[in-house]
Amino acid sequence: MQYIIKNTDNITEKDTSLSSAIWEKAEILRVAHFPWPDSGHRPETVVRLLYTSEALYIQFQVKDRFVRAIAKRFQDNVCGDSCVEFFVAPVSNSLAYFNFEVNCGGTMLLHRCPSVEERAAGQETENVADVDGATIRLEHSLPVIVDPELIEPTNWNIEYRVPFQLFAKYFDIKAPKSGDVWRANFYKCGDKTSHPHWGSWAPVNTEQPNFHTPECFRPIIFA
């Protein structure tokens, strides 16, 4: 299991709006593994990625129901809302990773999570600073607050642009080039919605829902 990220260096900010045809050039992956006991609600979730020399672009499209969003500030706990997540380890010899968690209203939580070796050496999970989070450009199709919960079928989209300078600051790496391999997983959840569920792209073999399993990440390859 792997994903190929296509390069599109002629991309502009306008090109990556949620409705842009530029996304048709991207490969598709699906969050289709729901291994844990849940409410039976398993939203269809499609993910696309693109990259340029300066940034990584990620888009989630979700066909959902029972949609809610009450977290509204950067670093609020968004996983209780209708949420999509992208966990990525950008260093070839380490499983330290970013966990991008975004609810349907466009609120993001982002931490740098240490590898097993870093944790053993005393390094702890680090909140990405507000000033660094502000370098991420994010678009969302629903309002910031969705409350009360939308019980009818609801489609929603999230798209964000992450400058490689942000990865460089927290992982001391250079911008990726063609052929470079990172490792990642993608998730859909809604812990505190009326119909909780937990899905992943790459299978996760834990008895209880747990997305913090970098050993289960799979290659994402820069074309």
Comparison of pLDDT for 222 and 10, the residue scoring more: 222
Comparison of pLDDT for 46 and 12, the residue scoring more: 46
- % of the chain with per-residue pLDDT over 90: 92
Enter the tokens of residue 197: 């569920």
Comparison of pLDDT for 18 and 169, the residue scoring more: 169
Residue 115's region, left for phi above 0, alpha for psi from -120 to 50, else beta, is beta
Hey, which residues does 69 pair with through a beta bridge? 146
* Cα dihedral 96, 75, 200, 165 sign: negative
Half-sphere exposure of 120 (CA within 13 A, CB side): 3
CATH code for the part of the protein at 3-11+22-222: 2.60.40.1190
Half-sphere exposure of 2 (CA within 13 A, CB side): 11
Average pLDDT on 122-134 reads 98
Mean pLDDT of the chain: 95
Residue 69 has pLDDT above 60, yes or no: yes
Average pLDDT on 114-141 reads 97
pLDDT tens by residue, 72-105: 999 999 999 999 999 999 999 999 999 999 999 9
Would you list the domain boundaries of the chain? 3-11+22-222
Position 22 confidence tier, pLDDT thresholds 50, 70, 90: confident
The pTM score is 0.96
- % of the chain with per-residue pLDDT over 70: 96
Please tell me the distance from the alpha carbon of residue 127 to that of residue 74, in angstroms, as a whole number: 10
Name which of 171, 85, 80, 185 is nearest 128 in CA terms. Answer: 171
Please report which helix (H) or strand (E) contains residue 130, including its range: helix 130-133
- Judge whether 170 and 97 are in contact, CB under 8 Å: no
pLDDT tens by residue, 191-219: 999 999 999 999 999 999 999 999 999 99
Please tell me the distance from the alpha carbon of residue 103 to that of residue 209, in angstroms, as a whole number: 18
Residue 10 has pLDDT above 90, yes or no: no
Please tell me the distance from the alpha carbon of residue 220 to that of residue 176, in angstroms, as a whole number: 11
- Judge whether 187 and 85 are in contact, CB under 8 Å: yes
Comparison of pLDDT for 12 and 214, the residue scoring more: 214
Name which of 68, 69, 97, 70 is nearest 184 in CA terms. Answer: 97
